[in-house]
Chain A
Amino acid sequence: MGQVGGWLAILAGGLVVTIELSAATLVLSVVISGCLAVMSISPWRVLRAIASAYVDVFRSIPILALAISVYYGLGRVLHQLGLSPFDTGVLVLTAIESAYLAELYRGALQAIRQQQWDAASSVGLRWVGTLRSVILPQALPPAIPITLNMTVAIIKDSSLLSIIAVSEVTLVANQLIAETFRPTEVYFLVALLYLVLILPLSQVSKYVEKVVERRLGIRPGTEQDKALRRLSIEAEARAG
């Protein structure tokens, strides 16, 4: 039992890095996806094209393929720029997760009815004004559970960065196994740590989703409507 305690202490160090990595990725992704989502509904064709090209490209590339390409191909350059594996990991993960998140945010923006835009323009608001004072305030609450779901996805996907030497919990586990030759026990412990981190988050996210729906009375709908919506939200929220 004492042995397991020692392992847990070592793994906890890695878990802290996992959390830092995910937090940094989340913050950057929220900013980038927010911009991309706004660009994608803007009246300027160039901005729309840039946003949709970004989303198309980075949603198609597997995280590991990008990670390994960057790690092998730009390793020296990144090192000279003073970027650590951790920084590289954040950049790779952000590039991909923000594409998925941008698409989800765009959905939240597009869920706001056209009449809102029309009404705003009839009282003389321009596009930027309408976005800032009419559209964004309404799109923000539904964006909260979306962001929480994405946080879960980011934490899970961050394990992939163990392959490019980011010393998060999965890599620490692999190092521990190289010393102890006890893969079963160590990987189960890691799984447990991920559970402890993610289960509360996903429960909070479900709860917030319900609260937001109830408070704003957004698309209350029937059981069937909800089921239909789940089908497509679930389909969107997974990177690869």
Chain B
Amino acid sequence: MSVIHGLLPYILPGALVTIKITIGAWLVSALLGLVLAVVRDTRKRVITIPVVAVIEVIRAIPPLIILYIIFFGLGTFHINLDPLTSAIVGLGVSDAVFTAEYYRAGFLTVAHAQRDAGMSIGLKRMQVMRFVVVPQTIPFIVPPLLNSFVGLMKYATLASAVGAPELLYGAQNYMETTGRVAPAAVAIMGLYIVVTLPLTRLVKGLERRVRARTRA
């Protein structure tokens, strides 16, 4: 009992920061991903080629390096972000390139004839996206976006590398100050299992339902 009592001050504030990072990075990822996907969807090569290049490049770089570039590297350009913001931006950006692919795949599920139909009643391209394509892709996008949320929850541990006091940072702090590793290790891994496992199951279930609906 006293072990848990000693652990809580290290774990609880960390959990809060992990939640902040996850939600923040998820919002960055979901919004930036949508923007990238819509921009990529234009037929103009001048626009699509650079966007595809940026997506491919960021996809190939480990999130930790992107995080380091944002936290340590942007100082050269007189941009100084605190650890929490760096983590949100860094993890968000590195996830957004994957989210963009989900949106794109989602767009492809809408038959092209629908776009033509939209154009034929005088909608602009952006209006077609907004009123015709995007609303129909929402059910397809929900499972991967949730999956990305779960993924970011795990990736939030990277924030400890730039000193954001999230869960792992707290656990590591406990290990170093008390010299006891097992309680913190069990707590953090147990917590992650308890939280992410049901969410992963939920995503799986949702995905199956979406698929079943499209087959029907």
Stretch from B69-77, B80-88, B115-123 forming part of the interface with A: B69-77
* Additional A-B contacts beyond A72-B172, A159-B64 (17; CB < 8 A): A64-B157, A64-B158, A65-B168, A65-B189, A66-B189, A155-B62, A159-B62, A183-B73, A191-B69, A199-B60, A224-B108, A224-B109, A228-B211, A228-B214, A235-B203, A239-B154, A240-B151
* A69 adjacent to chain B (CB < 8 Å): yes
Q: Is A62 touching B157 in the complex (CB atoms < 8 A)?
A: yes
A residues in contact with B107, CB < 8 Å: 227
- Tell me whether chain A's interface is mostly helix, strand or loop, or mixed: helix
* A31 adjacent to chain B (CB < 8 Å): no
Least CB distance from A134 to B in Å reads: 26
B residues in contact with A63, CB < 8 Å: 154, 157
Q: State the total of A-B contacts with C-beta under 8 angstroms.
A: 164
B residues in contact with A223, CB < 8 Å: 108
> Which size bracket describes the interface of A in this complex?
35 or more
Specify which of A73, A187, A230, A235 is in contact with B147 (CB 8 Å cutoff).
A235
- Tell me whether chain B's interface is mostly helix, strand or loop, or mixed: helix
- Residues of B participating in the A interface, judged by any CB pair closer than 8 Å: 56-57, 59-66, 68-69, 72-77, 98, 101-102, 105-109, 111, 140, 143-144, 147-148, 150-158, 160-161, 167-168, 171-172, 175-176, 181-182, 184-185, 188-189, 192-193, 196-197, 200, 203, 207, 211, 214
* A226 adjacent to chain B (CB < 8 Å): yes
Q: Is B64 touching A162 in the complex (CB atoms < 8 A)?
A: yes
Specify which of B143, B151, B152, B189 is in contact with A231 (CB 8 Å cutoff).
B143
6 sampled A-B residue pairs with Cβ under 8 A: A60-B154, A62-B155, A65-B168, A73-B185, A160-B64, A187-B65
Which of A59, A63, A72, A160 neighbours the largest number of chain B CB atoms within 10 Å of its CB?
A: A72
A162 CA / B67 CA spacing, docked (Å): 14
Q: Is A194 touching B61 in the complex (CB atoms < 8 A)?
A: yes
Q: Is B207 touching A232 in the complex (CB atoms < 8 A)?
A: yes
